[in-house]
Amino acid sequence: MAPVTYLLQADMMTGAQIRAARGFLNWSVRDLGKKAKVHFNTVHAIERGKSHGKPETLAAIRKALEKAGVQFTNGKHPGVRLNGQR
């Protein structure tokens, strides 16, 4: 099971942020699914808003993206950036 911190943060991550993060990393849906140990169809469904995803699934996706250097920005304008970018 994912640590509680990841479960809480995963709730604040949107499908658009996941897509953007993959774009920064030049990852396919399959690449992210493999790294997060989640089926690529699940990733695709979450990105398209067809599924909200289980908290554990979202936490695994977030953890894989953050491990690769992605930072999620939230607040009034949710977004993503790579570590070291402004």
Q: What is the pLDDT of residues 8-17, one digit of tens each?
A: 455 578 999 9
In this structure, what token pair is assigned to residue 52? 């909200």
Contact 18, 29 (CB under 8 A): no
Contact 31, 22 (CB under 8 A): yes
The secondary structure of the chain in percent helix, strand, coil, rounded to multiples of 5, reads 55, 10, 35
> What residues form DSSP beta bridges with 73?
79
Q: What's the pLDDT at 2?
A: 52
Q: What is the pTM of this model?
A: 0.82
Q: What is the pLDDT of residues 31-65, one digit of tens each?
A: 999 999 999 999 999 999 999 899 999 999 999 99
